[in-house]
Amino acid sequence: MAKAAVAGVDVAAVEEHLARYVVSCPLCKGVGQLGVAHEECKIISGSDAKDGISVVVVLCKRCGYLMTLAAEQILPKKAAGPRVKAA
């Protein structure tokens, strides 16, 4: 069954990342039992919504453990201008 990008998350890309790095559930150590959320979430620090990171939620189908993976490390870069370092 082919999986496509839904609501901004390329599920196939996330599953490929999980398989490539052999990510297992930290709770039950299950491998190959991880499901991927179809929507990107954001973890914010404190009350400032601008200061946060985008994440993809992953669920262990075996024990129900939820974990997050940084979206910028997994998903293709969104169309944005080039990043410029401050001097």
At residue 49, the 3 state secondary structure works out as strand
Question: Which tens digit of pLDDT belongs to each residue from 32-67?
Answer: 889 999 988 888 877 766 778 889 999 999 999 999
Query: Does residue 64 lie within any of the structural domains?
Result: yes
With respect to residue 82, please indicate whether it lies within any of the assigned structural domains: no
- pLDDT over threshold 60, residue 85: no
Over range 19-25, report the average pLDDT: 89
Is the C-alpha dihedral spanning 6, 46, 79, 76 positive or negative? negative
Residue at 79 is within a domain:
no
How many domains, in total, are found in the chain? 1
Backbone angles phi, psi at 44, to 5 degrees: -110, 155
Domain-located, residue 53: yes
Does some domain include residue 34?
yes
Range of the domain at 59: 5-74
Would 52 be classed as within a structural domain?
yes
H-state helical runs in the chain: 11-20, 71-74
Query: Which residue bears the tokens 């169309």?
Result: 79
